């Protein structure tokens, strides 16, 4: 019944399709397998069960294990998988789990289910969900509550509250309902919620108070995301560099925006501003890097407008990290049009490459850029800003350097926050 409920929840929902439908399709034959029914697995390296007396982190990668998207939330999960195990080795074993067909252990590298290995959290253990798994904690609350009663702490990551504050930016009402239900459930029952910015933590605390949620054991905290782009392969990126050189020919200023094509990213405003600036004699181009998201038809039509194509706006619908790295290197400034963000990873990626930033003036952009960027309020303000920048490039070139973290440092900061939650919760 749980899987049928999941199927109904994601039907005709593009927001959830990208994350959750692959989960259903891959595991729908395996609702509750016995060891005899499970297919034989022949892994190269069998993960040992936790050592006797050792504490365990049960790291939930339900969605991550069945999707090939490695941006956004999935990038964060990948970096935790890469760095966390080494950080906790002295105190914890890290075991990956999936919530498909009831919670079970899966292999970290191959994601093969290990129905033969016991899953029995106890005192001192930790359930940690950095992944986007809005269905599992609600559907399997009886299981998680039993773990919690046995002494296992429950911690999840909150990336933003867009579905609470700006539901019009989410794909549809079903997604809003599912995500809102998850947040309420987590706030009422979990031991800790770790956010990806102080802005999100403040929004979360305010929302919990507004809802009248009472959970004396709940602790909140936050960390900032990192970036560790390296130099791209010369052979792979040479065509991109040549194309970029043609695009930027005779244009003194190139602005790069990296974000999914969806309503809250504010692309129509950016397009309008660059068109308006061009009419005012500003020689600058906007390069957009973003995959198709949801509610995108009008946005794509705006980007593809003949007035934009080949003049002031260009769009790369899909780039791997090597190509994106090159685009950061060849651009003059990073620009964001987002109306709302949980963090704004592009700011940090750009800062890591030494780029100045031009951002919509919203609280999280101020936080992530540490107040060191240039800011605008609306489309007309951006047009005026582009004019001033064209006359005085030092508005951008004179920006202070934004402090950034590597992903290893980011995961370490997150782990310190989680440790504080656990220790406070046990006093």
Which tens digit of pLDDT belongs to each residue from 262-283? 999 999 999 999 989 988 989 8
- C-alpha angle with apex 128: 126 to 131, nearest 5 degrees? 170
- C-alpha angle with apex 255: 355 to 308, nearest 5 degrees? 170
Q: Is the pLDDT of residue 23 over 50?
A: no
Please tell me the least confidently modeled range out of 41-55, 75-89, 333-347: 41-55
φ/ψ of 29, rounded to 5, equals: -75, -10
Report the C-alpha dihedral over residues 178, 179, 185, 186, rounded to 10 degrees. 150
User: At the fourth CATH level, which superfamily is domain 234-397?
Assistant: Glycogen Phosphorylase B; (3.40.50.2000)
SS (H, E, C) 244-276: HHHHCCCCCEEEEEECCECHHHCHHHHHHHHHH
pLDDT, position 407: 96
pLDDT in tens, 310-365: 567 888 887 778 888 888 888 999 999 999 999 999 999 999 999 999 999 999 99
Residues in the chain: 427
Q: Specify whether the CB–CB gap between 60 and 129 falls below 8 A.
A: yes
pLDDT in tens, 172-217: 888 899 899 999 999 999 999 999 999 999 999 999 999 999 999 9
pLDDT in tens, 284-316: 889 999 888 888 888 888 777 766 555 678 888
Question: Where does residue 12 fall: left (phi above 0), alpha (psi -120 to 50 degrees), or beta otherwise?
Answer: left
Segment 55-72 shows an average pLDDT of 85
Strand partners, 57: 94, 126
**Fold: same for 2-32+50-226+408-425 and 234-397:** yes
Q: Specify whether the CB–CB gap between 396 and 358 falls below 8 A.
A: yes
Query: Where do the domains of the chain lie?
Result: 2-32+50-226+408-425, 234-397
- Where does 2-32+50-226+408-425 sit in CATH, by number? 3.40.50.2000
């Amino acid at each position: 019944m749980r899987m049928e409920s999941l199927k109904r929840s994601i039907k005709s929902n593009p927001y959830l399709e990208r994350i959750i439908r692959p989960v259903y399709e891959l595991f729908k034959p395996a609702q509750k397998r016995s060891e005899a029914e499970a297919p034989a697995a022949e892994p190269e390296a069998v993960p040992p069960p936790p050592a006797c007396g050792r504490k365990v982190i049960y790291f939930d990668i339900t969605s991550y294990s069945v999707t090939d998207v490695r941006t956004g939330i999935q990038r964060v999960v990948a970096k935790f998988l890469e760095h966390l195990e080494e950080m906790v080795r002295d105190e914890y074993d890290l075991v990956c789990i999936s919530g498909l067909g009831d919670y079970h252990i899966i292999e970290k590298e191959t994601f093969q289910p290990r129905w033969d290995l016991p899953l029995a959290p106890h005192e001192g253990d930790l359930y940690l969900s950095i992944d986007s798994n809005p269905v599992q904690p609600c559907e399997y609350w009886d299981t998680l509550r039993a773990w919690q009663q046995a002494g296992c702490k429950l911690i999840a990551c909150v990336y933003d509250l867009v579905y609470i504050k700006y539901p019009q930016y989410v794909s549809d009402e079903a997604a809003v309902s599912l995500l809102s239900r998850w947040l309420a459930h987590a706030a009422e029952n979990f031991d800790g919620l770790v956010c990806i910015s102080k802005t999100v933590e403040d929004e979360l605390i305010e929302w919990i108070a507004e809802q009248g949620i009472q959970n004396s054991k709940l602790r909140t905290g936050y960390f900032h995301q990192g970036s560790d782009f390296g130099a791209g392969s010369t052979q792979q990126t040479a065509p991109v560099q040549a194309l970029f050189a043609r695009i930027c020919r005779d244009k003194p200023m190139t602005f790069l925006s990296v974000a999914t094509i969806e309503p809250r990213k504010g692309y129509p405003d950016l397009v309008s501003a660059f068109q308006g600036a061009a009419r005012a004699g500003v020689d600058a181009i906007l390069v957009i890097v973003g995959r198709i998201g949801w509610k995108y038809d009008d946005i794509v039509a705006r980007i593809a407008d003949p007035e934009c194509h080949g003049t002031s706006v260009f769009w790369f619908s899909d780039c791997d990290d090597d190509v994106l790295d090159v685009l950061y290197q060849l651009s003059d400034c990073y620009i964001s049009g987002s109306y709302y963000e949980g963090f704004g990873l592009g700011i940090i990626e750009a800062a890591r490459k030494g780029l100045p930033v031009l951002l919509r003036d919203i609280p999280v952009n101020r936080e992530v850029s540490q107040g060191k960027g240039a800011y605008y309020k609306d489309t007309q303000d951006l047009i005026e800003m582009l004019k001033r920048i064209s006359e005085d490039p030092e508005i951008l070139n004179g920006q202070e350097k934004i402090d950034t973290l590597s992903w290893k440092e980011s995961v370490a900061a997150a782990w310190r926050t989680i440790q504080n939650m656990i220790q406070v919760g046990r006093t």
